[in-house]
A and B are shown apart, each in its own frame.
Chain A
Amino acid sequence: MDEPSCAGLLARFDDGPALLAAARAAHAAGYRVLEGHAPEPLPGLPAALGVPASRTPRLALLAALLAAAGFFALQVWSAVWAYPFNIGGRPLFSWPAFLVVSIDMALLSAVLTAFVGLLVGGGLPRLYHPVFNVPQFTTGTEAYFLYLDAADVRFDPQATPAWLEAHGASEIHEVPA
């Protein structure tokens, strides 16, 4: 059905609310392989596009808990069993001192997990995106784009441009693959 030379359609909108409305309409119409591009952060755009909630916060929390538990256990093991040492007459299991390293390592693990999650979630291994084949995509600073991928089951080379036009797109570009 789709031509091999066309990766998808790039529709330009004149402002953020128009893009948000079109994104909501596209998601409601059943489009699932779609992207929004805006020159500034648009609150609500991920929700409008139907992007699922990120797993990164949960993974970061899990990493923090594991690191805290692991480093606390490591310190207990080394201070109580492996190398018992009397420091100022304090008990061998001096938990307040162990908290410092545990919390620091928990924070470091959470931050590193979130950083890696950001890179992976942002699709870093992918070094090329077909939207850059459209020259207008990189020139507009006041331009808001909705990208509909040709791989979408709802995508139709004839009907989709008309649908975009009906939903307020000011320009529609075919994206060369």
Chain B
Amino acid sequence: MSAAPKPQVKTGEGQLALWTAGAGLALSLLLVLWEPAATLQAYAVIAVTLLAPALGALAALGCFQLTGGHWGELARPALLALLGLLPIALLGLVPALFDLAQVFDWAQPVALLPEVVRRKQPYLNAPFFIARTVGFALLWLLLALVYRRRGTAAAPVPALGALTLVLWVPSITFFAFDWIMSLEPTWYSDVLGLIFGAGAVAPALAAVLLMLPELPGRPDSPPVQGRQDLANLLLTAVLMWIFLHFSQFIIIWSSNLPHEIGWYLHRMSPALGLLAALMVVAYFLLPFLGLLAPSRKQRRRPLRRIAACVLVGHLLHSYWLMVPSLPEPGLVTILLPAPLLVLGGLAAAHLARHAATAVPDDG
């Protein structure tokens, strides 16, 4: 994979981020010779982590087309910048596509597969998997292109929003089935797609709250009200996330069937239990308590702290969803910094460029 540096970057942070990405790429090339499977798996984990806020931004832009409102006008520059993460994250998925068997157990030779996975072959087979991933990528990139072309000033078009959301839900559902659920091909949970979706919208809104400039005006001025609406939307996404996660857990825990409960058993070690507890605190508990009082939703600093908390929760959530399903979680964890440097560096360079060119526009 060749990460072409974007020439327009002039800010110091952007330069630093690009150098970081370059160093990460060199490190990755070494690692891929040493541990090809774990390196490709680490790339998939970081790519899915980075993809989530970009997909969440797509959903938020679609909602704005349907509803309008100050929150959307306020958030639109940041949401469009988040769409720019889409190609970077999709780039991170490409290495795995070259050798699916290194990442996905179901891509092993059929003779090695257990009976239940063999029966899933009509869906879980390499050509169809690659076609689906390429199809979703093209769909999302096309939608992102449409929204970026329309820019920050265009009036909302309800039909575009409806189309976006109608395509968004099935595409993220099957993407989550492919890249998260199929890491453990014997396991099945039909709500996982929506968990991924709620887990995409929450970090997108949190990133928007972090990227918003200082807003002048009284607590009842339209921009401040719009930001409060964004905070309420973040609260909704966080509640949706915990509700779906708990629903999945209580159903699987109640039925306690061997092919379902195994997914949770892989996440029962003391270390992963602690990680799950931290994830619930950072992703749900602290933001939920913080976003209850209206007064805190009108001020910038507490909102930024809550947003940062959600983003930390998102990182823990992505790790918790994917890494324990892999055959060698410890090794993958050690290798995660390499793709994090590459994809995170490119993402930071992109967002730094956005911050440098962003002009505060409030009417």
Contacts and interface: CB of A to CB of B under 8 A. Distances in A.
A99 B220 contact: no
Nearest to B255: A88
B353 to A, nearest CB: 37
A47 B225 CA distance: 15
Interface stretch (B123-131, B246-254, B330-338): B246-254
A100 B220 contact: no
B250 A43 contact: no
Contacts of B225: 43
- Interface residues of A: mostly helix, strand, loop or mixed? helix
- Interface residues of B: mostly helix, strand, loop or mixed? helix
A44 B220 contact: yes
A97 interface: yes
B256 to A, nearest CB: 6
B178 to A, nearest CB: 29
A108 interface: no
Nearest to A100: B250
B292 interface: yes
Question: B220, B246, B254, B292: which has the most chain A beta carbons within 10 Å?
Answer: B254
Contacts of A44: 220
Contacts of A100: 250
Contacts of A61: 292
A97 B254 contact: yes
Contacts of B249: 96
Interface string A44-75: 10010000000000000100000000000000
Q: How large is the interface on B (under 10, 10 to 19, 20 to 34, 35 or more residues)?
A: under 10
A93 B246 CA distance: 18
A44 B249 CA distance: 44
Contact of B256 (A43, A47, A88): A88
B71 to A, nearest CB: 15
Interface in A26-56: 43-44, 47
Contacts of A96: 249-250, 253
A99 B246 contact: yes
Contacts of A97: 250, 254
A162 B292 CA distance: 44
A87 B292 CA distance: 37
Contacts of A47: 220
A97 B254 CA distance: 8
A143 B38 CA distance: 71
Given A43-B225, A44-B220, A47-B220, 12 more contacts: A43-B220, A61-B292, A88-B256, A90-B256, A96-B249, A96-B250, A96-B253, A97-B250, A97-B254, A99-B246, A99-B250, A100-B250
Which 8 pairs between the two chains have the least Cβ-Cβ distance? A44-B220, A43-B220, A96-B253, A96-B250, A88-B256, A100-B250, A96-B249, A97-B254
5 contacts: A43-B220, A61-B292, A88-B256, A90-B256, A99-B250
